[in-house]
Structure 1
């Protein structure tokens, strides 16, 4: 059984630093204003805190599953950092998990999620300043790019470092974002009326158009 020379857990400074970096980065591209915005951002922040607490602080999932894991994978040092990449252990993937297929896919999802947040914010901000409907940039292809961005980021982290708490939180948060999206659409429909109806008829809610946004050029 291999043991890390440095402790893999109890690194609370890393919990704080990593959580702060991701939460502040997300905040910089969402700028919550309404109660709806704060609920969305707060739920995402809770997910991030739960994730990094188990990644560097206290490995609750490892402790709860330690009996089953030690019986099934007796050669695995459960207190090593690599063991926290549970998908690799469960699926019997060899090699450094940081360079495995799941970690690379996780990185792509994280880049896509944060990229979508950063792309969406200036278009939403510009529309809000003009009291207009946001129909440019990612909003020309999908109605809720910020919610989709949050979901991609959470899915990416689940591929990289699954925990019981975040696995339970993920479907709950997705359901919450679906409800928030419906509430947001009701508000937009009251504010913009027929313009919003035309927008929703031409623009998917969750899965984006890959073609150009020609159908919305007149509303920009």
Structure 2
């Protein structure tokens, strides 16, 4: 293994990238309630953990170093490209940034941030008028903002998988699922039959492309 310079220990990039993405997400999500802050805090923890390994300390590569060196002789573990583990494991050649998974990650990230922004706009106006949010993305799924966060997380996992973020992902899924159920109980209590009718025709997380109906 040879390398000219390490791609890690760049803590200024850890701080800068974490700040940019968190401020970007914050500007779209605009947390207000305690539930909103829990949602955003969990997302923030994932983002910070990701960039710490991307530019600071490559914990995953160190843990897997022995196995990677045995299976991929000559792999430069301290190069940036080595952190794109999916590309390495799939045997992709060339710059990982131009691989299909990396391109797909941009699609997930772009649509995730777009969905987060448009969903918040609908929710903001609904809250101002004390009505149910049922238009825009809310006409297709009951929790577009949670889905948006999951799409963004998936986008980052396609780019740069780490042991920590892969472990965090199912935990965050379960957390967002519980928050959605809690939120729905409050909406049902507040809006009654109107929410029941909305829930009956609108899936919770996954849009229905056939006949409309409730979905978990």
- In the alignment of these two chains, the number of paired residues is 212
Note the alpha carbon deviations across 1:132-173, whole angstroms, 9 max, x for none: 111111001110000000000001111110000000000000
Q: CA RMSD in A?
A: 1.6
CA apart distance, 1:91: 1.4
**Residue equivalent to 2:47:** 48
Q: C-alpha separation between the residues in 1 aligned to 2:29 and 2:190?
A: 21
Conserved? CA contact 1:141–1:210, under 8 Å:
no
**Residue equivalent to 2:183:** 184
CA apart distance, 1:123: 0.5
Superposed, 1:28-47 pairs within 5 Å as 28-47=27-46
Q: Give the match's secondary structure for 1:52.
A: helix
| Structure 1 segments of 4+ aligned residues over 3 angstroms from their partners | none
Q: C-alpha separation between the residues in 1 aligned to 2:191 and 2:119?
A: 20
**Residue equivalent to 1:14:** 13
- Does structure 1 residue 106 correspond to structure 2 residue 127? no
Q: C-alpha separation between the residues in 1 aligned to 2:24 and 2:209?
A: 27
Q: C-alpha separation between the residues in 2 aligned to 1:147 and 1:2?
A: 43
**Residue equivalent to 1:119:** 118
Q: C-alpha separation between the residues in 1 aligned to 2:11 and 2:209?
A: 42
Q: C-alpha separation between the residues in 1 aligned to 2:121 and 2:5?
A: 43
Note the alpha carbon deviations across 1:99-155, whole angstroms, 9 max, x for none: 000100111110111110011111100001111111111001110000000000001
Cα 1:125–1:210 change in 2 (3 A) is: farther
Q: C-alpha separation between the residues in 2 aligned to 1:44 and 1:190?
A: 28
CA apart distance, 1:7: 3.0
**Residue equivalent to 1:139:** 138
Q: C-alpha separation between the residues in 1 aligned to 2:191 and 2:27?
A: 27
**So what's the TM-score if we normalise by structure 2?**
0.94
Superposed, 1:1-220 pairs within 5 Å as 1=1, 3=3, 5-209=4-208
Q: Give the match's secondary structure for 1:150.
A: helix
Q: C-alpha separation between the residues in 1 aligned to 2:110 and 2:208?
A: 19
**So what's the TM-score if we normalise by structure 1?**
0.93
